[in-house]
């Protein structure tokens, strides 16, 4: 029978509004409270009033990502266009959606203000010197917010795969993990992107599909100045800019290029690049040896001639060494430019601004799940 939107009553949402506002599990179908129910009447007669109590012990857990990679507007559009949904029902669903959005927005706003308050003293962008007071409490609260939004931790295995492999960038980076007091990575959703590869010295091009994380959140806190000074590594010290708890949000990060988002890395070149750099030096040494070796080893040259030959050899050797060094610097600069350019477009927010996006994304996820469940 058809729902009359003018005579329906919104009866229950997840066992009441309080349950929604205290919702702590990203997947509404795996919770023990009832999913959703409505009660409405037609001609004074009750038509629908039901609850579903789903026990998690009786469910087969779906290990796929719980993140819904579709905007709230598109979810609503798709739901409203389902078969059997006429204008009256569509209006009723729109009102339900508005109520869900209002409830979660109210709850999310309070959570956001709490996060901002806890983070204020640690924010590197503040006026003054940030500190770590209250860090554990902030991280616990932030973790709850991330879990609500279906964010998941990056595993050690995923990080190791990134350090050993390469996707878009033909380079691996060595990350100095011991320089961090705190280091956390979270992922949200997975996507596939297309990239163009060249082979046969640039003569052949082919398109490849690369697995990437839709979004990545990085939380970093560096060691203090004394730590770098004691280990004689002051050249890596981040200075005043490195103080505080840094939070970064990135989009579309290839899984095997995950290390490129770290600020304290050293490039490790591919074997082919090492050959390009080392081959001229080796060839130069061979040429010098073939040209001047017989003269030096022949023993017929005078002392002044031998010194002249030795000077010529050293000059030629120095030239090849300089060319090799310049080639190395050029290759390293090329890699660093590629990474910097990529991060410029992948970076979405820093520090306190990330908190706004975390809460906004979490709120949208909750509303989409609730609407689909309803």
Q: Work out the burial of residue 114: count CB atoms within 10 Å of its CB; fewer than 13 is exposed, 13-18 middle, 19 or more buried.
A: middle
For 10, how many CA atoms within 13 A lie in the half-sphere containing its CB? 15
| pLDDT value, residue 257 | 86
Query: pLDDT at residue 221 above 60?
Result: yes
% of the chain with per-residue pLDDT over 70: 66
Verdict on whether the full-model pTM lies above 0.95 = no
Using alpha carbons, select from 141, 210, 132, 135 the residue that is nearest to residue 170. 210
| pLDDT value, residue 3 | 35
* Cβ pair 23, 148 in contact under 8 A: yes
Ranking 47-56, 72-81, 108-117, 197-206 by mean pLDDT, the lowest is 47-56
| pLDDT value, residue 299 | 53
Query: pLDDT at residue 87 above 90?
Result: no
The C-alpha atoms of residue 366 and residue 106 are separated, in whole angstroms, by: 13
How many CB atoms sit inside 10 A of residue 358's CB?
27
Across residues 353-365, what is the average pLDDT? Answer: 92
Ranking 206-220, 265-279, 320-334 by mean pLDDT, the lowest is 265-279
| pLDDT value, residue 42 | 44
Tell me which of 45 and 250 has the higher pLDDT.
Answer: 250
Mean pLDDT of the chain: 75
Across residues 346-355, what is the average pLDDT? Answer: 94
| pLDDT value, residue 70 | 82
The 10s digit of each residue's pLDDT in 141-192 is 999 999 988 999 999 999 998 888 776 666 677 899 999 999 999 999 998 8
The 10s digit of each residue's pLDDT in 14-34 is 333 334 334 333 333 333 333
Decide the pairing of beta strands 246-254 and 152-153: unpaired
Decide the pairing of beta strands 347-350 and 246-254: antiparallel
Query: pLDDT at residue 130 above 90?
Result: yes
The 10s digit of each residue's pLDDT in 296-344 is 565 555 555 556 666 666 777 777 677 777 776 776 677 777 777 777 7
Query: pLDDT at residue 64 above 60?
Result: no
């Amino acid at each position: 029978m058809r729902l009359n939107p003018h005579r329906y009553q919104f009866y229950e949402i997840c066992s009441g509004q309080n349950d929604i506002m205290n919702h702590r599990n990203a997947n509404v179908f795996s919770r023990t409270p009832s999913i959703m129910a409505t009660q409405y009447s037609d001609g004074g007669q009750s038509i629908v009033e039901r609850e579903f109590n789903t026990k998690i012990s009786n469910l087969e857990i779906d290990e796929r990502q719980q993140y819904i990679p579709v905007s709230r507007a598109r979810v609503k559009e798709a739901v409203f266009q389902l078969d059997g949904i006429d204008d009256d029902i569509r209006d009723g669903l729109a009102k339900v959606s508005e109520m869900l959005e209002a409830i979660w927005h109210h709850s999310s706003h309070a959570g956001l203000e709490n996060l901002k308050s806890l983070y204020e003293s640690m924010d590197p962008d503040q006026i003054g010197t940030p500190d770590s007071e209250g860090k554990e409490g902030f991280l616990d609260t932030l973790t709850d917010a991330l879990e609500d939004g279906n964010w998941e931790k990056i595993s050690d295995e995923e990080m190791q795969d990134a350090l050993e492999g390469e996707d878009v960038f033909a380079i691996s980076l060595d990350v100095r993990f011991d320089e961090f007091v705190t280091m956390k990575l979270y992922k949200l959703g997975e996507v596939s992107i297309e990239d163009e590869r060249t082979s046969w010295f640039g003569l052949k091009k082919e398109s490849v599909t690369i697995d990437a994380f839709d979004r990545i959140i990085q939380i970093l806190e560096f060691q203090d100045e004394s730590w770098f000074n004691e280990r004689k590594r002051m050249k890596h010290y981040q200075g005043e800019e490195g103080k505080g708890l840094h939070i970064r949000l990135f989009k579309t990060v290839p899984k095997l290029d995950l290390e490129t988002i770290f600020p304290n890395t050293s490039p490790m070149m591919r074997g082919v690049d090492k050959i390009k750099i080392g081959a001229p030096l080796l060839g130069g040494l061979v040429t010098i040896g073939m040209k001047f070796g017989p003269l030096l080893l022949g023993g017929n040259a005078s002392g002044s001639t031998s010194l002249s030959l030795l000077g010529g050899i050293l000059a030629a050797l120095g030239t090849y060494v300089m060319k090799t060094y310049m080639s190395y610097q050029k290759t390293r600069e090329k890699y660093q430019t590629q990474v910097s350019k990529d991060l410029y477009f992948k970076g979405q927010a820093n520090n306190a601004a990330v908190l706004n996006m975390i809460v906004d994304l979490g709120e949208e996820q909750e509303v989409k799940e609730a609407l689909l469940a309803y």
